[in-house]
Amino acid sequence: MDRVNATTPSASSADDPARAAFAALRTPEGAQLLAELRDHDPADELATATRLRRAHPAELVSAALGQARLRQRAAAKFGAEDAYRMYFTPNGVEQATRTSVAAHRAARFAGLGVRSVADLCCGIGGDAIALARAGISVLAVDRDPLTAEVARANAEALGLADLIEVRCADVTEIDTAPYDAVFVDPARRGGRGRIFDPEAYSPPLSWATAAALKAPRAALKIAPGIPHEAIGPEAEAEWISDGGDVKEAVLWYGEGFAPGAFRATLLPSGATLSAPAPLPAPPVGPVGRYLYEPDGAVIRAHLVADLVERCGGRLVDETIAYVTSDEPYSSPYVAGYEITDELPFSMKRLKALLRERQIGVLTVKKRGSAVEPEELRRRMKLSGPGSATVFLTRVAGAPTMLIGHPLG
- CB-hemisphere CA count at 13 Å for 156? 15
Mind giving me the DSSP string for 325-357? ESS----TTEEEEEEEEEEE--HHHHHHHHHHT
Most confidently predicted of 141-145, 200-204, 225-229: 141-145
pLDDT, position 144 = 94
CB 139, CB 165: distance < 8 Å: yes
CB 391, CB 365: distance < 8 Å: yes
Average pLDDT for 45-71? 93
Q: What percent of the chain has pLDDT over 90?
A: 83
Q: Is the pLDDT of residue 57 over 90?
A: yes
CB 392, CB 403: distance < 8 Å: no
Which residue type occupies 335?
A
Average pLDDT for 217-246? 93
Q: Is the pLDDT of residue 39 over 50?
A: yes
- Residue 185 CA to residue 119 CA, distance in Å, equals 8
State the Cα torsion 60-64-67-68 to the nearest 10°: -170
CB 405, CB 337: distance < 8 Å: yes
Q: Is the pLDDT of residue 12 over 70?
A: no
DSSP letter assigned to residue 363 = E
Cα-Cα-Cα-Cα dihedral sign, residues 343, 347, 348, 353: positive
Using alpha carbons, select from 162, 172, 87, 90 the residue that is nearest to residue 126: 87
CB 325, CB 314: distance < 8 Å: yes
> Which band of pLDDT confidence, cut at 50, 70 and 90, is reported for residue 193?
low
pLDDT, position 1 = 34
Q: Is the pLDDT of residue 8 over 70?
A: no
- Residue 3 CA to residue 308 CA, distance in Å, equals 53
pLDDT, position 189 = 67
Average pLDDT for 83-103? 93
pLDDT, position 356 = 94
More confident residue, 408 or 257: 257
Cα-Cα-Cα-Cα dihedral sign, residues 230, 233, 234, 235: positive
292-330 pLDDT, tens per residue? 999 999 999 999 999 999 999 999 999 999 999 999 999
Q: Is the pLDDT of residue 9 over 90?
A: no
- Residue 310 CA to residue 67 CA, distance in Å, equals 49
Q: State yes or no: cis peptide before 203, omega within 30 of 0.
A: yes
Q: Is the pLDDT of residue 2 over 60?
A: no
* pLDDT, the chain, mean: 91
The pTM of this model reads 0.88
